[in-house]
Amino acid sequence: MSTKRLLLALPVAILALLLQSALWVPTLASQGDATPRRLRTFVKAQVGDTKRLNPIVNSDYDADMLMRSNVFEGLVWPDENLKVAPKLADRWETSEDAYVAILPERRLADGKAATAALLLERIQDARQRALLGGLERSIEGMELVPSEERALTETVLIKNEKGKEEPADVEMTLRVPERVRLRLSKVEPDLFERLAEVLGKDYFAPGAFPERFTLKKPEQLQALRPKLPDLFTVGEHNPILTFHLHPGVRWHDGVPLTAEDVKFTYEAFIDPKNASPQAGSFRSIKSVEVIDELTARITYRRLYSPAIIDWMEPLVPKHALDDGALKREMERRHLSPDERTKLSLRNSDFNRNPIGTGPFKFVEWQPGQFIHLARNDHYWGQPPEYQDFFLRNISDYLSMELEFRAGAVDMYLAQPHQAARYRADSRYHVLPNNDGNYAYIGYNERLPMFQDRRVRKALGMAIDADAIIAYVLSGEGKRCAGPYYSITPYHDPDLKPLPYDPQGALSLLEEAGWHKNAAGKLEKDGKPFAFTVVTNAGNQMRKAIMIIAQQAWLALGIDVKIQDFEWTVFLEDFVETNHFDAVVMAWGGGAINPDQFPIWHSSQTHHYESNHIGYQSAAADELIMKIRTTYDEQEQIKLTRQLDRLIAEDHPYTFIYERQVPYVYDRRTAIVERDAQGVEHPKEIEVPPSGDVLHSFRTWRKFSNAPEPLR
Amino acid sequence: MWRYLLRTLWQRLLLLVFISIISHGIVHLAPGEPTEVDPMNPMMKAEDIARIRKAFHLDDPFYLQYLDWLRDLFSGNLKSFQNGLPVLPQIWARFLNSLPLFICTTLLVWTLSFPTGIHAAVRRGSRYDRVTTFLAYALISVPSFFLSYLLIMGVVQVLHLPVLGLRTFGSDQLSAVPRAMDSIWHLTVPALMSALAGATGVAVLSRYVRAQMLEVLDQDYVRTARAKGLPEDKVIYDHALRNALLPFVTLFGFLLPGLISSSVIFEKIFSWPGLGQLGYDAIIGRDFPMILTLNFIAAALTLVGIFVSDILYALVDPRIRLQ
């Protein structure tokens, strides 16, 4: 019957049509023959979606890294030894303008009231008689700066009627008195200490000077008070960075790069309208001046030696994003008046069509699928070997492995257990990418039970970190002992990780007053030792660490519970509000920066600040501030090593491991080397000392056949 | 009839408003913040976070946020928190991706379920019946994501063929026919998988068909048809099948909301950039405007689906009249 036949024929026909398509799809082996261009195309995969391609407003790490290292460029970048190296800036100089306020109410050493003439005379005298301990050689000139009224805006948190903290801009005028300006050829952090020997040792004593401020809304003074001593100081260091841009660099649309772009980038980062997550890095800047087309001069409000590192942030083009450009965009997009007021860098078309100066140009972005970049043939530096670059969004690591094995991905950051599979397979290479990311267990020091250093140390000694690395990380990591990344000079090389010693841990706990009760549980003054460890759900490694730690601590007789929460809940309800006992987390990304202020300074322990565990140490605070204000590299390294050791020996965290993220790629991907005749030879990719596998990316290409064993 | 239509339409609209208010409440009550508020960034100050919250109106009273959302949705100005782009065009683009998968899956489900179900009913108790029953329950019980991964691994390891996504990466460099075939191949695997193991897939639907056919085959008119000497095929496919089809008209109406809801798992596993994945990512990133709009559309589709099946039912079954 016809109905019966139709019912049978229809599914067979549909299935046949669908399944035959498999015969047309190129396999991994045949892809180079099917499309030669494939060998000049690089496909990298990432988990998760991309949001915006504008570095100013980005908060998405992977896509951001892609844009940063390929489409955009900063003034400087980290070289293969993790040192700051020139990029868009050929070179830079550091100098300083130092100001000494003339405050008649302050007495000089001999009891005379300070006046302009007197100060000038004393400083001049000290300079000529070389009383400043060698600093006088840096002084290039000095002059009087008349008094001025300075308009300032500072953002503070003020409680509203509902008791909720809201940001408020405090507008004020600061009456700056007449000052002496010293022009210095380099930054002299000790200048005021030396001058104090000449002018009187209390002359530079800090103070709040509330009478110098006129607030537009006087009721805000209370909220502003903690910030006052920073807003006006008697002696003011203004370090200066002068960048000289590489000549002849053009944006992808052909417009030349100028110092105006540097200035604009700074303004874009700090513009509250853009709400840039990176704004904090640029807040210590006082002004950015354009000296000429290729020279930008950046003046800082105070000593801040890591300043140069912030200029790794990518530059963005002024001509495509300034007010004029946004106005043109409004016209082009026919926006309604309401939309016009809302248009900013956050929602400009630029975010979907970015222009940079880098070796690759942006071509296309299919949200949820891929970002396509193409080689910038007019690149100012060495152009890349690849013609096309795709960053694919793949939802999970298993899918990524499947796509990789099918040849639709050239490289991805594998999970450790996947890497173990690839290491055994001669078709693939695995290179560990060290990104300075370290995992730790943090103890909330606000709780009495964690205030004893010995307790924290004992908790760390109970955990077999080597076993964690071997089994949880499949060996893709190494022990660490302190907050500084082990390959940097900031790390103290003599620092040894905690030994695994449960017995020793037990005796340390006993020393600290915790004894085993009849039930075999630890207690002190009748109170049992009990706490909860939390971490974020979805991260198998952290969960594994949490479980292993729990087992180790249970064995000691501690009553430990564990819980994992979804990421946003975990952050909002536990970490950011400091509402936890112990937490398994990781820090990463700051390897090149000697500054540990946000994570370890005792002032950073409030809600939404990064010293979640409430670590307080006067010695560490002093070292942190000293590191920030030390401009001499060797001196700074000495200080960071002290800090590394100090924090390590305080055991605020149990430092578990520094991870290596294994990059896996097809062996056919290699560095292209050309001999004198221009013949190409593949050379195996190596990891530079900085641990950044992609550092040599520009010289990579895929060859049609795997090169003969290269070693 | 017209009165009935107008009345239900009005009731459904009202219901939709209530659904949107409730879902608004649920979404905002759920813990967690939009990921744009990234407190893990050590450079982000409390001021910055408060500022972002303000920009997203997250501190406004509930009814204001609801009205804002409603106004923005209907004026087309509703923007996603995550990428700042208008929500509706994004949903439309993803809808176009989901559509082929949806059509293909539906075609497979409906064409495969009927022959297998009818055959099992006719040969009730036979080895064929027992095997298909076993398979159907196996497909229903084993988690579909697990089966999907097994299938994908098999294809990749044995055939060395890419499976995930809309097409093979770089297939745009192929000529037209292989390119089309490549797209079809990428459609085939997820469609087959979600047709077989999906919540409303062959495994489930063929069981319905079997049960429905069994019921009809016991009816008097079937015996009458056989008694008057009609060929067995005519009895089954003309007399029995037509009557067995009636309940499936209702099921057809429920297909519509499946466009969003049924695809989440398979789109996620097969990296298919469709509506399901869009919704999933929006939930993970607490992209409130996106979640609410998708929710709204799903609710609207459900109501439309019920409405359509009511009308279809009245059309095919003369015993039912809409009042």
| Contact flag B268-A395 (C-beta cutoff 8 Å) | yes
Distance, CA of A484 to CA of A647 (rounded, Å): 10
Q: What confidence score (pLDDT) does residue B239 get?
A: 85
Question: Across the interface, which of A8, A23, A29 has its CB nearest the CB of B115?
Answer: A8
Amino acid (1-letter code) at residue B244: A
Average pLDDT over residues A16-38: 78
Confidence of residue A710 (pLDDT cuts 50, 70, 90): very low
H or E segment to which residue B148 belongs? helix B144-154
- B108 chain-A contacts, CB cut-off 8 A: 11, 14-15
Tens-place pLDDT, residues A358-380: 999 999 887 767 889 999 999 99
β pairing state of A680-683 and A84-86: unpaired
Least-confidence region, from A247-261, A503-517, A656-670, B22-36:
B22-36
DSSP reduced 3-state for A516: strand
C-beta of residue A466 within 8 angstroms of C-beta of residue A570? no
Q: What confidence score (pLDDT) does residue A1 get?
A: 53
Distance, CA of A243 to CA of A298 (rounded, Å): 8
For chains A and B, CB pairs below 8 A equal 226
Record the tokens describing residue B253, joined without a space.
Answer: 């109406």
| Contact flag B50-A157 (C-beta cutoff 8 Å) | yes
Least-confidence region, from A283-287, A506-510, B32-36:
B32-36
Question: Across the interface, which of B164, B187, B273 has its CB nearest the CB of A368?
Answer: B273
Distance, CA of A558 to CA of A553 (rounded, Å): 5
Q: Select from B288, B309, B307, B275 the least CA-distant residue to B20.
A: B288
Question: Across the interface, which of B83, B168, B234 has its CB nearest the CB of A52?
Answer: B83
Distance, CA of B102 to CA of B87 (rounded, Å): 21
Confidence of residue A52 (pLDDT cuts 50, 70, 90): low
Q: What confidence score (pLDDT) does residue A62 get?
A: 57
Tens-place pLDDT, residues B200-223: 788 888 998 999 999 998 889 889
Q: What confidence score (pLDDT) does residue A55 get?
A: 75
Q: What dihedral angle (degrees, nearest 10) is formed by the CA atoms of B12, B13, B14, B19? A: 80
- A42 chain-B contacts, CB cut-off 8 A: none
Alpha carbon separation from A344 to A86, A327, B81 (Å, rounded) = 31, 10, 14
CB atoms within 10 A of CB A160: 10
Most A CBs within 10 Å, among B75, B156, B202, to test the A interface: B156
Is the pLDDT reported for residue B35 higher than 60?
Answer: no
Confidence of residue B48 (pLDDT cuts 50, 70, 90): low
Task: Give this complex's ipTM.
Answer: 0.81
CB atoms within 10 A of CB B230: 15
Q: What confidence score (pLDDT) does residue B77 get?
A: 79
Alpha carbon separation from A513 to A459, A505, A510, A519, A548 (Å, rounded) = 14, 13, 5, 17, 25
Record the tokens describing residue B203, joined without a space.
Answer: 């495994």
H or E segment to which residue B277 belongs? helix B275-284
Is the pLDDT reported for residue B259 higher than 80?
Answer: no
- B175 chain-A contacts, CB cut-off 8 A: none
Confidence of residue A711 (pLDDT cuts 50, 70, 90): very low
Q: What percent of chain B has pLDDT over 70?
A: 91
Question: Across the interface, which of B43, B77, B178 has its CB nearest the CB of A278?
Answer: B43
Average pLDDT over residues A283-295: 93
Q: What confidence score (pLDDT) does residue A450 get?
A: 95
Alpha carbon separation from A132 to A135, A404, B100 (Å, rounded) = 5, 64, 79
Average pLDDT over residues B181-196: 90
Question: Across the interface, which of B40, B107, B233 has its CB nearest the CB of A1?
Answer: B233
Task: Give me chain A's average pLDDT, please.
Answer: 87
Q: What percent of chain B has pLDDT over 90?
A: 12
| Contact flag A399-B164 (C-beta cutoff 8 Å) | yes
Is the pLDDT reported for residue B41 higher than 60?
Answer: no
| Contact flag B36-A590 (C-beta cutoff 8 Å) | no
Q: What confidence score (pLDDT) does residue A706 get?
A: 59
Beta bridge partners of A536: A565
Question: Across the interface, which of B161, B192, B241 has its CB nearest the CB of A27?
Answer: B161
- Burial (CB < 10 A; 0-12, 13-18, 19+), residue A606, is middle
The chain A residue lying nearest B185, using CA atoms, is: A21
DSSP reduced 3-state for A188: coil
Q: Select from A3, A441, A429 the least CA-distant residue to B114.
A: A3
| Contact flag B32-A4 (C-beta cutoff 8 Å) | no
Eight-state DSSP code of residue A118: H
Q: What confidence score (pLDDT) does residue A254 get?
A: 93
Record the tokens describing residue A693, joined without a space.
Answer: 């596998």
Distance, CA of A708 to CA of A467 (rounded, Å): 36
Confidence of residue A311 (pLDDT cuts 50, 70, 90): very high
Q: Give the list of residues 6+ apart from residue A316 with CB closer than 8 angstroms, or none.
A: A54, A55, A56, A72, A261, A264, A265, A268, A350, A356
| Contact flag B164-A31 (C-beta cutoff 8 Å) | no
C-beta of residue A479 within 8 angstroms of C-beta of residue A624? no
Is the pLDDT reported for residue B36 higher than 60?
Answer: no
The chain A residue lying nearest B116, using CA atoms, is: A8
C-beta of residue B73 within 8 angstroms of C-beta of residue B67? no
Q: What confidence score (pLDDT) does residue A33 get?
A: 67
| Contact flag A21-B161 (C-beta cutoff 8 Å) | no
Eight-state DSSP code of residue A602: G
* Closest chain B C-alpha to A16 CA, distance in angstroms: 10
DSSP reduced 3-state for B189: helix
Is the pLDDT reported for residue A460 higher than 70?
Answer: yes
Distance, CA of B116 to CA of B209 (rounded, Å): 8
Is the pLDDT reported for residue A270 higher than 50?
Answer: yes
Least-confidence region, from A454-463, A701-710, B100-109:
A701-710
Least-confidence region, from A17-21, A28-32, A233-237, A516-520:
A28-32
Average pLDDT over residues A53-69: 68
Task: Give me chain B's average pLDDT, please.
Answer: 83
Is the pLDDT reported for residue B283 higher than 50?
Answer: yes
Question: Across the interface, which of B77, B161, B192 has its CB nearest the CB of A406?
Answer: B161
Distance, CA of A618 to CA of A626 (rounded, Å): 12
Is the pLDDT reported for residue A44 higher than 80?
Answer: yes
Q: Higher pLDDT residue, B253 or A511? A: A511
* CA B166 to the chain's CA centroid: 18
Name the strands in the sheet holding A527-528, side by side, starting at the edge strand that comes first in the sequence: A515-516, A522-524, A527-528
DSSP reduced 3-state for A488: coil
Tens-place pLDDT, residues B78-89: 888 776 778 898
Least-confidence region, from A29-33, A701-705, B316-320:
A29-33
Q: What confidence score (pLDDT) does residue B322 get?
A: 62
Q: What confidence score (pLDDT) does residue A229 get?
A: 83
| Contact flag B164-A35 (C-beta cutoff 8 Å) | no
Q: Give the list of residues 6+ apart from residue A450 with CB closer than 8 angstroms, or none.
A: A443, A444, A456, A581, A582
- B31 chain-A contacts, CB cut-off 8 A: 566, 568-569, 572-573
Q: What dihedral angle (degrees, nearest 10) is formed by the CA atoms of B141, B145, B151, B154? A: -120
| Contact flag B45-A608 (C-beta cutoff 8 Å) | yes
Confidence of residue A709 (pLDDT cuts 50, 70, 90): very low
β pairing state of A559-565 and A530-536: parallel
Q: What confidence score (pLDDT) does residue A502 get?
A: 94
| Contact flag A599-B42 (C-beta cutoff 8 Å) | yes
A72: left (phi over 0), alpha (psi -120 to 50) or beta: beta
Angle at the Cα of A16 (from A15 to A19), degrees rounded to 5?
Answer: 80
Average pLDDT over residues B28-37: 67
Cβ-defined contacts of A291-296 (< 8 Å, 24+): A291/A242, A291/A259, A292/A259, A293/A245, A293/A258, A293/A259, A294/A244, A294/A245, A294/A247, A294/A258, A294/A259, A295/A242, A295/A243, A295/A244, A295/A245, A295/A259, A296/A242, A296/A243, A296/A245, A296/A259, A296/A262, A296/A263
The chain B residue lying nearest A271, using CA atoms, is: B48
Least-confidence region, from A433-437, A574-578, B138-142, B251-255:
B251-255
Distance, CA of A695 to CA of A692 (rounded, Å): 6
Is the pLDDT reported for residue A604 higher than 50?
Answer: yes
Q: What confidence score (pLDDT) does residue A707 get?
A: 56
H or E segment to which residue B193 belongs? helix B176-197
Average pLDDT over residues A641-659: 94
Q: What percent of chain A has pLDDT over 90?
A: 41
